[in-house]
Structure 1
Amino acid sequence: MKKLMYITICMFTALIGCDENDIDIPVSVLPSNLIVNAQNMGGGTVNFTATADNANYYHFDFGDGTSALGTSGEASKTYEMIGDNSYTITVTAGSTEGNKISESVDVSVSIAFSDPETVSLLTNDSSKTWFLAASQQGHLGLGPAREGIDGDWWYPKWYVASAFEKCGSEDSDCLCDDEITIAQDANGNLTFELDNKGQTYFNVGHRAVVGGSEESDFCYDFDTSGTKSVVLSPVEGNVPDEETTGIQMTIADGGFMGYYVGSSVYEILAIEDDFLYVRTYDTENADLAWYHKFTAEAAIEGGDENLETIYTNLVWSDEFDVDGAPDPLNWTYDLGAGGWGNGEAQTYTNDSENVKVEDGVLKITAIAGEGEAAVHYFDEMTLIDAGGTEQILEDFESAAPTFTGFGGSETTVVANPDASGENTSANVAQSTKALGAETWAGSFFDLSSPIDLMTYTTISLKTWSPSVGANIILKLENQANSDENVEVSVNTATANAWETLSFDFSAAAAGTYDRVVLFFDFGVSPAGGITSGRIKSENLFEFTYGRVEIRAKLPSGGGTWPALWALGANFDEVGWPASGEIDIMEHVGNNNNVVSSALHYPGNSAGNAVVGTTPVATATSEFHNYTVEWTPDSIKFVVDDEVVHNSFVNNGTTPFNSDFFLIMNVAMGGTLGGSIDPAFTQDTMEVDYVRVYQ
C-alpha cells in the first residue's frame, strides 16, 4: 500500500519535476530500549511495568500459560500455585508496522497455603483448646502408612489396625490430661502450644530422646513448654479425597500432639467444630501411622458420682429363673454369620450350647468348632475385544507372576487339583484366605504393560470355588496411583468345579491399568467354625426412655467381644446409624477389665462414635451392674451405680427419642474384638438379670 501511494504522488507531481530521490519515504520503525520491571506485592501478586521507544503495544507472557495484551505497558498478575515457585516472564513490545522486540525476566513467588474454613475450626477464629478424646475408642490408634501395605492398600480413616485405650493405665495416663491450644493472631498466623502437665507419653522407639530405659511405651518427664508456629499445607499422596481433608499441619521446632513418635507433621483426616482426627508417621518406622482423636471439650471424669435416677418404676424384666431356652415372650434370636458388616468370625445360632438359661443366669457362649481356610483357584485370565478376539493375559504355565497378598490372603501357583471340565491345564493359581482373615483380603500381581481396556472390554477368568454365590471382584489399578482403578464384581454359579466368569469393563474410563487385584469370597471371613448367640427383644419389648440395668459377668478370651445394647426399632426403615444405637456395655477380651459404652448416630458412628471407658478390675470374674439412664435431655452410662463414665446431652435432633429394643450377644474378632486367640475353645457371658425402669 505504501508503494502505491508513492506512485500516485509521483504522477500527481510530475509537472513540477518529481524526482524519487527528493521524496521522504515512510519507513517501519523498530521498537527499542525495552525495559521490564517486576514488583512482588506479596500474596502471589506481581506488578509489571514495561517501557520501550516506538512501541504501540505490549504483550506479557506470565510463564504459567496465561498472558495479557495492552498499550499501557503495565500489567498485574496473581499466581496461584502454592509454595515457592519461579516463573520466566517474557514481554514483547511491538509497533503497528509489525516490528517487535522481547525481553525476559525471572520472578520468584512464594504463596503460603491457607484454608479459612479449617483455620476457623482449628482456632474458633481466635483460640481453641483441644483435648485427647479419651472417651472415644481409638483416641490413640496404630494403622497403615499413606501408601499402605506394600505401597498399595490403603484403609479408610475409620479403620485403625489397633486402637489403644490409654487413659486407664498408669504407664500411659499422662497422655489423657494433655491440652493443645491452637490460636490465630491478628495477621492470620497460627500458633501451637501443648500443655502436657510435665509428662510426655513416649513411643518405645524414641525413648533415647529422654534417656529412657523402659522396654515399652512409657510416660517420662519431658518439658514441652513454649509457643510454636504452625503452617498448613496440602497433602500429597494416593489417599482417596473422601477419606482426608487433604490438609496437613507442620508444627515448628519439633512440636508434637501428645504422643511422641518424632514427627511434627499431622495430616487432618477429619475436622468439625468439636472433633479433630489426625494422622502422623513414625520417624523410626515409615510403615507405621499413628492416629489421634481430639475433642473441644475436656473428658468427662468418672469417679464417685452417684446416679440420681428419675426412673424408679419397674416396667419390664427378665430374672432368668427358669432353666432352658430364654423366655420366648421376652426374647427372639438373630441368626447368621459375619456380624452384619463388622467382619466378625462367629455364626449366631439358637442352639442351647450357645444360648441357654441355667442355674439362674442366662449364658451366651462362643464355641470354637473345627474350621478351615477358604481356598479358591483361578486360571486363564483372557482379554476379549468387542468382536470376540481373545488374548491370554496370564495362564500360569510359564514363569509365575509375583503375587502380593493382603488382609490374610495369599496366592501361589500350584498343579491343577481338578483337571477336568472347563479347565484341564497343568498349572493354576491358588488363593487361600486364612482363618480369621479380613473380609477384604485378597492379592495382586503387576503387569509389564497396561491393559488396553479401550480395545479389550471384557476379561474372562476360569475359577474353581467351594460354594455357589461366592463374590469375586476383579480390580484393575495403576501401580503408581491406586486412586486410578476400576473393578467388576461377579458371583460364582458353580461349586467344586471349574467355570468361566466374564467381567465386563466396557464402562471403564481410560487409564493406566497395570496391576491386577483379585478378591475371592469378598465380604466373608473364614469363621473357623466359631458359633455364638445373639438374642433380642425386638417386637416383644420396645420402649422410649428409661433406666436399663443389666447385671453380668464377662468372658475374658482373646477375641471375645460381648455387648449389652439397644437398637432403634425403626432401623429396618431408616437404616443404621440413622436409627441410633445405645451400647450400654462392651468389653474386649484383648483388653480385659476395661468396659466401654457408646452412642452411634449420624455423624458419630463406627470409629467416630461417642465412647466412654471405665476400668472394672473384676469384670471377667465377678458380676457387675451396667446401667444406662436415658431421658429426653441426657443419656448417662453407669457401672455399679457409682461410676458415670460418659454423659450425653440429648435433644430433639437425635435419634434417641423413639422406641428401641434390647440386644445381648457375644461376638468374636471383628473391628473391635480384634485377633482371636489361636488356642480359643469357648467362653461365656453370664447375665443375672435385665431390668427396665420408667
Structure 2
Amino acid sequence: MKNLKYIFFAFLMVLVGCEDDDAFGSVALSNLTVNTEVSDDGSGTVIFKPSASGAKSYNYNFGDGTTAESLTGFISKTYRTVGENIFTVTITANGFDGTTMTETVEVSINIPVTNSDLVNLLTDGTSKTWFLAAAQPGHLGLGPAREGIDGDWWYPKWYSAKAFEKCGSDISDCFCDDELTFSVDSNGDVTYVLDNMGQTFFNVGHTAVVGGTSDEDFCYDYDTSGEKAVTISSVEGNVPEAETTGMQMEFADGGFMSYYVGSSTYEILSLSENLLYVRTYDTMNPDLAWYIRFTSAPSTGGGDESLQTIYTNLVWSDEFDVNGAPNPANWTYDIGAGGWGNGEAQEYTDSADNVIVEDGLLKITARGSGVAGGAVHYYDDVTLVASGGGVSVVEDFEGTAPAFTDFGGASTAVISNPDASGENTSTNVGESTKNSGAEVWAGSFFDVAAPLDLTTYSSMEIKTWSPAVGAVVRLKLENQANPDEFFEVDATTSVNEEWEALTFDLSSAPAFTYDRVVLFFDFGVSPTGSAAYTSARIKSENLFEFTYGRVEIRAKLPSAGGTWPALWALGANFDEVGWPATGEIDIMEHVGNNSNTVSSALHFPGNSGGSAVVGATPVSSATSEFHNYTVEWTPESIKFVVDDELIHNSFVNSASTPFNSDFFLIMNIAMGGTLGGAIDGEFIQDSMEVDYVRVYQ
C-alpha cells in the first residue's frame, strides 16, 4: 500500500529541525537548499549540490526508480532514458539531531535519440518481450491526433484506467495476454513478433477485417504469427518536440502492436528499460490517436488456473483465538495521522476501539467522530488587489471546485458557508481541516490556469474564518514547473469565529511564474483534540520477517465509501534503502467506493506509485463473506490468488528485483486519500475482520 510513513515526504515545506541535547551537541538541522548542474553534452549527467546546517548525510530518490546516499551531499547521477524527460528528485537531509528535512527539485534531461539507443532499449541488445501495462493509468488512451482538433492534443482522454476494465471482461481480456517480442541480429536489423495467444482485441471500426459484426470493440480469432521487419525513422508532421522522442517504428506485412486500429506505424513517446509508450493513428479516423503503454514485466496472468503451490510447511500463523489486544509476540502498531503522503484522513491508534481480537477474529475498525477533529478554518474569495484598488478574483468556490492536493495530514474541501454573515455571505467556501496528529506544516494547494499577475497586483486578500485569534496563515505562491521558484508571506487572524479579510503583501515577490496557491492554516502549530477518523495499522516488523513463501489471509472487508483496507508486506530494509527500493507486495487492496473489486500490486524501482504492477478482479461478496487472499512468492515469480484461483499478476521475479530479502506483514484500514477517495458523509464506522494469517514455506 502506498501510504508509507517510512517515506517521510514533507510535500511542500521543509521541516523545522528541533534541538536535541545529544552527545554531539549539534546544531539543529535547518536551511536545506539544493543546487543542480545539468550537463549540456547529451550524456544525461546531473551534479546535485545540497547544503544544510547540521546535516550528517543526504538521501536521494532520483525520480527514475533509483536511490542513493551521500555523506557530503554532492553526488553525480547519470540518467539513461532517451529523449526529453523531466525527473522529480527528492533530497532528504539527515541531521545529527535526529530530524530530517526534505526538498524536491525537477531536472530536465535531454538525451539525443539515435536508432541504436532505441534498438538497445527495445531488444536488450538481443531479444526482449514487452507486455501491456495493465492497470496503469493510460495503458490504452484515446485523444486528438493533432492540434486544432477539439480537446487537448497531448493529454489523451483515458480510454481505460484500470486493469479489470479490460482484463476482467470477456470482450477484451485477450488484450491483456499479448506478448510483443523485439529482436536484433548481428547486422542491426530489428524484427518483431506478436504472440496474441490466438485472439486480438479489435477496434469496432476495423472488425470487418475478421468478418465481425459487433457494434463495440471485441476479441476475435486472428493469426499474428511470423516475424515482421521493423524500420525505425524520424517522425514527420505536427509533433511537439518536448512530448516525443521524435522517432517512430514501422512494421512490415501489416504488423501492429496489440490493439488493432489498422495502423502499422507507431510513434515512440517514451522509452526506458521498463516502459514503452507509443501513439498510433486510426486509419479509419485520422483525427484520432491511440496511446498504449507497455512494460518489460507481465502485469496480469488471469483465468481459472488453480495455484499449484510449492510451499506446504506452516512456519508462522495467527489464528486470533485469544480475546483482547493482538498478540504482542506477533504484532506491533503504526501510530499517527495523515497517511504519510497519501492525503488520508485517519489517525492510526492502538486503541481497542480500533483494533481488537474477539470471537476468534481480528477486527480492525475505522471510526468517524461525526465532526472534524483538530483545527478547522474556512476561507473564501482569494483575490489579487492592485495598489490603486483594482481586483482580480483567483478563486471564489462558486463554480467548479478546484482540485485540492493535501499534505501533512490536512484535508480540504468546498462546503456550504457555515457562517454566512459579516464579511462573507457567499454560498460556498473552502474548508481546511488540520486533523489531530497532523504535521505543523500541514496544508493544501490548488493550481490556477494562468500565472498570477503580480505586475498589476501587489497584494492578495483572502477572507478567513478562524476558531482562534492569533492563528498564523501562511500563503505560499509557487511555480508548478520549478519548485525552486516560490514566495511566502504570513498573516495573522485578529478575530475568532467570524469572517475577516486578511491581506498578504506580495510587493517583494521575485519576478517568477506563480501558478500554484498553497495555504497553511495554524502554521507551526500541532492540532489537538480527537481526529475526525481513527483506525489501526498493525505490523509484524521485527517480530516476524521472512523471505519467500505463501501468505494466506482470510478476511471480510468493509464496504463504506472512503474505506481503503489493505493486506500487504514491506521490505524490512526500508530504513536502509528507502521506498520503492525496498519493495512492496500488496496482497489485497479494496476501495469502498468501488465495492467488491479487489486488487493486488507490486511496487519497486521503475514501477511504483501510479506505475506499479497491478491486477484486479471482481469478488462479488468481498464485503459480506470471508475470502482467502494469497500471495505465492518464490525466487522465480510472485502470484496473487483469491480463493485458491490464480487471478492476476504472475510476476517474473529475478535477482534484479527487491523481492529477494526479508519482508514483514501489515494490515490496516485507511480513510479517503489518493485511492480511498471521498468519504461517505454519513460514515460512522466499518470493520475489516480477519479470521487468520498463515505463512507457509
Q: TM-score scaled to structure 2, two decimals?
A: 0.59
| Aligned residue in 1 for 2:356 | 356
| Aligned residue in 1 for 2:446 | 442
Cα 1:592–1:194 shift into 2, 3 Å: farther
Amino acid at match of 1:306: Q
Distance in 1, Cα, partners of 2:518 & 2:262: 37
> Is it true that 1:140 corresponds to 2:135 in the alignment?
no
- Residues 161-240 of structure 1 mapped to structure 2, 5 A cutoff: 162-165=161-164, 166-182=166-182, 196=196, 199-201=199-201, 218-219=218-219, 231-233=233-235
> Is it true that 1:407 corresponds to 2:387 in the alignment?
no
Distance in 1, Cα, partners of 2:215 & 2:516: 39
Cα 1:252–1:628 shift into 2, 3 Å: closer
Q: Is the 8 A contact 1:376 1:463 kept in 2?
A: yes
| Aligned residue in 2 for 1:105 | none
Distance in 1, Cα, partners of 2:281 & 2:531: 35
Distance in 2, Cα, partners of 1:215 & 1:343: 42
Amino acid at match of 1:163: K
Q: Kindly provide the CA deviation profile for residues 288-334 of structure 1, in whole angstroms up to 9, marking residues without a partner as x.
A: 98553333669656712411117x2534x322223344344543433
Q: Is the 8 A contact 1:314 1:692 kept in 2?
A: yes
Distance in 2, Cα, partners of 1:654 & 1:164: 23
- Residues 365-384 of structure 1 mapped to structure 2, 5 A cutoff: 365-367=365-367, 370=370, 375-379=378-382, 381-382=384-385
- Residues 48-67 of structure 1 mapped to structure 2, 5 A cutoff: none
Larger radius of gyration, structure 1 or 2? 1
Distance in 1, Cα, partners of 2:678 & 2:390: 37
Amino acid at match of 1:407: A
> Is it true that 1:604 corresponds to 2:584 in the alignment?
no
- Displacement after TM superposition at 1:175 (Å): 0.8
Residue 562 of structure 1 aligns to a residue whose secondary structure is: strand
| Aligned residue in 1 for 2:583 | 580
| Aligned residue in 2 for 1:308 | 310
| Aligned residue in 1 for 2:295 | 294
Q: Is the 8 A contact 2:138 2:161 kept in 1?
A: no
| Aligned residue in 2 for 1:118 | 118
Q: Kindly provide the CA deviation profile for residues 72-119 of structure 1, in whole angstroms up to 9, marking residues without a partner as x.
A: xxxxxxxxxx9xxxxxxxxxxxxxxxxxxxxxxxxxxxxx98443123
Distance in 2, Cα, partners of 1:591 & 1:652: 36
- Displacement after TM superposition at 1:168 (Å): 2.7
Amino acid at match of 1:444: V
Q: Kindly provide the CA deviation profile for residues 117-166 of structure 1, in whole angstroms up to 9, marking residues without a partner as x.
A: 123222445765433245x655835699899xx98999999x99932333
Amino acid at match of 1:355: V
Cα 1:499–1:574 shift into 2, 3 Å: farther
- Displacement after TM superposition at 1:606 (Å): 1.6
Distance in 2, Cα, partners of 1:340 & 1:281: 41
Deviates more, 1:333-342 or 1:214-223: 214-223
Distance in 2, Cα, partners of 1:245 & 1:232: 11
Cα 1:660–1:410 shift into 2, 3 Å: closer
Distance in 2, Cα, partners of 1:287 & 1:491: 48
Residue 607 of structure 1 aligns to a residue whose secondary structure is: helix
Amino acid at match of 1:122: L
Cα 1:266–1:542 shift into 2, 3 Å: same
Distance in 2, Cα, partners of 1:529 & 1:346: 7
Cα 1:621–1:298 shift into 2, 3 Å: closer
Residue 626 of structure 1 aligns to a residue whose secondary structure is: strand
- Displacement after TM superposition at 1:360 (Å): 1.3
Distance in 2, Cα, partners of 1:432 & 1:305: 51
| Aligned residue in 2 for 1:55 | none
Q: Is the 8 A contact 1:376 1:520 kept in 2?
A: no
Cα 1:662–1:188 shift into 2, 3 Å: closer
Distance in 1, Cα, partners of 2:153 & 2:377: 21
- Displacement after TM superposition at 1:173 (Å): 0.8
Residue 118 of structure 2 aligns to a residue whose secondary structure is: helix
Distance in 1, Cα, partners of 2:609 & 2:657: 16
Amino acid at match of 2:308: N
Amino acid at match of 2:296: T
Q: Is the 8 A contact 1:472 1:489 kept in 2?
A: yes
Amino acid at match of 1:432: G
Q: Kindly provide the CA deviation profile for residues 461-481 of structure 1, in whole angstroms up to 9, marking residues without a partner as x.
A: 54526586777542458xxxx
> Is it true that 1:562 corresponds to 2:577 in the alignment?
no
Q: TM-score scaled to structure 1, two decimals?
A: 0.60
Residue 607 of structure 2 aligns to a residue whose secondary structure is: coil
> Is it true that 1:571 corresponds to 2:560 in the alignment?
no
- Displacement after TM superposition at 1:234 (Å): 8.6
Distance in 2, Cα, partners of 1:297 & 1:259: 17
- Residues 613-632 of structure 1 mapped to structure 2, 5 A cutoff: 613=616, 618-630=621-633
- Displacement after TM superposition at 1:664 (Å): 0.5
Amino acid at match of 1:140: H
Residue 307 of structure 1 aligns to a residue whose secondary structure is: coil
Q: Kindly provide the CA deviation profile for residues 415-472 of structure 1, in whole angstroms up to 9, marking residues without a partner as x.
A: 99676xxxx7x8999763799xxx976353647x96449xx9x855545265867775
Mind listing any 5+ residue stretches in structure 1 that lack a counterpart?
1-81, 83-111, 384-389
| Aligned residue in 1 for 2:687 | 684
Q: Is the 8 A contact 2:132 2:295 kept in 1?
A: yes
Distance in 2, Cα, partners of 1:206 & 1:343: 44
- Displacement after TM superposition at 1:550 (Å): 1.9
Amino acid at match of 1:304: S
Q: Kindly provide the CA deviation profile for residues 615-642 of structure 1, in whole angstroms up to 9, marking residues without a partner as x.
A: 6565444333333455666655444456
Cα 1:160–1:545 shift into 2, 3 Å: farther
Residue 175 of structure 1 aligns to a residue whose secondary structure is: helix
| Aligned residue in 1 for 2:391 | 394
Residue 448 of structure 2 aligns to a residue whose secondary structure is: strand
Amino acid at match of 1:120: N
- Residues 413-432 of structure 1 mapped to structure 2, 5 A cutoff: 432=430
Distance in 2, Cα, partners of 1:347 & 1:153: 42
Residue 583 of structure 1 aligns to a residue whose secondary structure is: strand
Cα 1:452–1:116 shift into 2, 3 Å: farther
Determine which of 665, 688, 691 is the counterpart of 2:668: 665
Amino acid at match of 1:688: D
Amino acid at match of 1:600: H
Cα 1:293–1:667 shift into 2, 3 Å: farther
| Aligned residue in 2 for 1:518 | 517
Distance in 2, Cα, partners of 1:191 & 1:413: 61
Distance in 2, Cα, partners of 1:298 & 1:516: 37
Distance in 2, Cα, partners of 1:211 & 1:345: 53
